[in-house]
């Protein structure tokens, strides 16, 4: 039994494949899964619905403190407007502080798989395993563009790519919990990997750590 919390931290930039991978790993490890990006998106949604500005630190902190799990089921959390507003509220230290306990509490009972930007660096620096999932800008922009198309959202590829790059740059350069790999994170570059191959790479790493003993069973 490890002394570390039974937490798998998955961080990385937008549309790198974190969500798909995290969901599959959570099922394989029999752990609950939390998409922490949804927390920032839901705070942004509440803020805009209340008529406030996404950069207003006082209003944003109040909305972060009032967040409930029901807010995570709100429709329209994945629009380009919410992409931008989520990145804006995520740069506010008081918002991040307000959401810290929610994320840690989520894993208290059974452990968890969490994906985001600062899970391995700030939320669970002592996580049992950490992955940093990334891919080239073009590969990520293409995935996001296809995702939008499948949802019936019309957007020019170049706009999707430029917006994503701007958000990545803001996430990586902000003072509060900037996006970066934890020193002990394993890097998985999914540029040339499909979902099955990314899953296999992650499972191989967990098996090497002795966490996932039945690595071959679920391939
Ligand atoms: O789905 P996508 O990768 O585009 O974004 P997301 O994971 O839903 O995150 C939306 C925004 O929330 C990011 O651009 C970050 O600014 C912020 N975020 C964060 O700061 N910390 C996290 N742990 C998760 C998301």
> From ligand 1's centre to the CA of 109, what distance in Å?
24
Extract long-range pairs of 199-202: CB within 8 Å, 24+ residues apart.
199/21, 199/24, 199/25, 199/28, 202/21, 202/25, 202/131
- Give the atom of ligand 1 at the shortest distance from the alpha carbon of 40: 12
**Confidence at residue 212, expressed as pLDDT on a 0 to 100 scale:** 73
Expressed as residue numbers, the domain containing 118 is 7-217
**61 found inside a domain:** yes
> From ligand 1's centre to the CA of 215, what distance in Å?
29
> From ligand 1's centre to the CA of 13, what distance in Å?
8
**Confidence at residue 2, expressed as pLDDT on a 0 to 100 scale:** 55
Provide the token pair at 24.
Answer: 């599959």
Instruction: Supply the pTM of this predicted model.
Output: 0.94
Chain centroid to CA 43: how far?
A: 15
> What whole-number distance in Å separates Cα of residue 152 and Cα of residue 96?
32
Ligand 1 pocket check for 168: Cβ under 6 Å? no
> What whole-number distance in Å separates Cα of residue 109 and Cα of residue 203?
23
**144 found inside a domain:** yes
Ligand 1 pocket check for 11: Cβ under 6 Å? no
CB of 164 closer than 8 Å to CB of 138: no
**Confidence at residue 5, expressed as pLDDT on a 0 to 100 scale:** 85
**2 found inside a domain:** no
**191 found inside a domain:** yes
**212 found inside a domain:** yes
Q: Going from the first residue of the chain to its last (219 residues), give the mean pLDDT of each consecutive group of 10, the final group possibly shorter.
A: 83 96 96 97 97 93 96 92 94 96 92 98 97 97 94 92 94 93 97 96 94 58
Residue 33 backbone dihedrals phi, psi, to 5 degrees: -120, 135
**1 found inside a domain:** no
Q: Which CATH number goes with the domain that contains 123?
A: 3.40.50.300
> How many domains are there within the chain?
1
**44 found inside a domain:** yes
**Confidence at residue 214, expressed as pLDDT on a 0 to 100 scale:** 53
> From ligand 1's centre to the CA of 192, what distance in Å?
23
CB of 34 closer than 8 Å to CB of 55: no
């Amino acid at each position: 039994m490890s002394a570390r919390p039974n937490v798998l931290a998955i961080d990385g930039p937008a549309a790198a494949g974190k969500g798909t991978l995290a969901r599959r790993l959570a099922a394989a490890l029999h752990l609950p899964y939390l998409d922490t990006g949804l927390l920032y998106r839901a705070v942004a949604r509440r803020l805009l619905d209340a008529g406030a500005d996404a950069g207003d630190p006082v209003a944003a902190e109040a909305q972060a403190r009032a967040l409930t799990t029901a807010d995570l089921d709100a429709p329209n959390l994945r629009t380009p407007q919410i992409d931008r507003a989520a990145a804006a509220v995520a740069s506010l230290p008081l918002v991040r502080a307000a959401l810290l306990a929610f994320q840690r509490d989520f894993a208290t009972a059974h452990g968890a798989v969490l994906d985001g930007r600062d899970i391995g660096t700030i939320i669970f620096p002592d996580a049992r395993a950490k992955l940093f999932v990334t891919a080239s800008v073009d590969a990520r922009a293409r995935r996001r563009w296809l995702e939008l198309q499948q949802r019936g959202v019309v957007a020019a590829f170049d706009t999707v790519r430029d917006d994503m790059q701007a958000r990545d740059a803001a996430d990586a350069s902000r003072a509060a919990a900037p996006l970066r790999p934890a020193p002990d994170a394993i890097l998985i570059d999914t540029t040339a990997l499909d979902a099955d191959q990314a899953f296999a790479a992650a499972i191989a790493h967990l098996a090497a750590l002795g966490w996932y003993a039945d690595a071959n069973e679920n391939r």
